[in-house]
Amino acid sequence: MNLNDLRFFVHAVDFGGFAAAGRQLGCPKSTVSKRVAELEAALGVRLVQRTSRSFVLTDVGEKFYEHARATMIEAEAAEGFARSRQAEPSGVVNLTASVPSAQLHLADQLPLLAQRYPKIQIRLHVTDRFVDLVREGFDIAVRSHTRPLPNSDLVQKQIRVDPIILVASPAYLSRRGPPDSPADLANHDGFFATPHAKVWTLDGPGGAAITVAPVVRLVADESVVLLRSAEAGLGITPIPRAIAAPSLRTGSLCHVLPDWHCGKVTTTLLTPHRRGQLPAVRRVIEVLSQTQETPVAP
C-alpha cells in the first residue's frame, strides 16, 4: 500500500468527492480518482461506491477512513514536531572524547554551548579507549590523532591541526645551552611518548626534514607528565602547541628551534551519519567546529 494514497482518500472523503479534493490538492479530479482506485486495488477491497452523481463510502470504507484520518493526524503531528526541532535545537547529544581533547577543546566550549542553547543537554563521556560510536550510542566523537584515521562509515570533519613543537625550561637551556640547529639535539636530553621511539623526525623550512636522536631522559605517554617534567628542567620535549601554550605565555617554558616542528596533531569530529542528524547534533558540531588558533608567547 502506498501511504501517499491515504492522503488522496482522506481528502476525497473530507471534501465529498474527487473533484473537490482535486481542487484542494491542486491536481486533476482524475488523479484523485486514480490514486483512490490504486489504494483499493492494493487493499483488495472497495472503499467507495461510485456513481455519476454520488460519492458513498462502503462499510469497509467508513471504518478504513477512521484509521486513515488518524494516520494523517499523526503524520501532521510528526511533521510539526520535526519542524519545531529545526526551529529551536533541543534534546540529548551524546558526546565522547579523550582526556586531552576534553581538557583542551571541550572544557571551554561546552559551557558556552549550554548557555547559548539551554534546551540541548550534553552528555560527555571522557575516555582514552577506542569507542564504537554506533554500538555504544554516541552522536559525536572528538579524536586527536597524529596519523590519518582509518576509512570507515563514520563522517569525519577536521576542526584543528596543531603542530608538535619542542619546548624546554629556561633553567635547562641556561644550564645546557639552547640548540642552534636540529643537529645539536643529539647533545641534549629528550622525552619520548613510547619506549620504542629513539629519534625525533623534524620538519622545517622549505619542506626540509631531519631525524635526530637525543639522549633518552624520560618516557611517558601522558602529555601533562611530559609538560611538567620539561618545566622541572629535565630536558626537551615534543608536545602539541595547544598544550604548551599556557606555559609559553607565563615563561615557564621556551620554544626551542621555533622554525622546526615534530609532526602535528589533528583534531577530528566523527559522527555516525551525515543525513538525518537531529538539529541539536548539527548545532553542537557547528559550535565545536568554530575553533581558533591557540595564542602563544611571541
pLDDT digits (tens, 9 = 90+) for 223-266: 899 999 999 999 999 999 999 999 999 999 999 999 999 999 99
User: Is 131 found in the same domain as 150?
Assistant: yes
For residue 47, is it left (φ>0), alpha (ψ between -120 and 50) or beta?
alpha
CA 78, 84, 86, 88 torsion: positive or negative?
negative
Domain limit, last residue, from 87, 107, 123: 87
pLDDT above 60 for 298: no
Nearest C-alpha neighbor of 67 from the set 155, 156, 1, 148: 1
Domain holding 97, by residue range, is 91-161+265-289
In sequence order, the 6+-apart residues with CB closer than 8 A to the CB of 278 are: 85, 89, 91, 93, 139
User: Is 170 found in the same domain as 95?
Assistant: no
Domain limit, last residue, from 87, 113, 140: 87
The total domain count for the chain is: 3
In sequence order, the 6+-apart residues with CB closer than 8 A to the CB of 17 are: 55
Domain limit, last residue, from 53, 68, 87: 87
Report the CATH number that the domain containing residue 57 is assigned in CATH. Answer: 1.10.10.10
Report the CATH number that the domain containing residue 245 is assigned in CATH. Answer: 3.40.190.290
Identify the helix (H) or strand (E) that includes residue 230: helix 223-231
User: Is 272 found in the same domain as 155?
Assistant: yes
Band of residue 128 on the pLDDT scale cut at 50, 70, 90: confident
- Residue 57 to residue 96: CA distance in whole angstroms: 56
pTM confidence score: 0.64
Quick one: what percent of the chain has pLDDT higher than 70?
A: 93
- Residue 109 to residue 125: CA distance in whole angstroms: 15
Evaluate whether residue 13 is within a structural domain: yes
Angle at the Cα of 261 from the Cα atoms of 255 and 266, rounded to 5 degrees:
110
Grid cell, residue 154, equals: 563514520
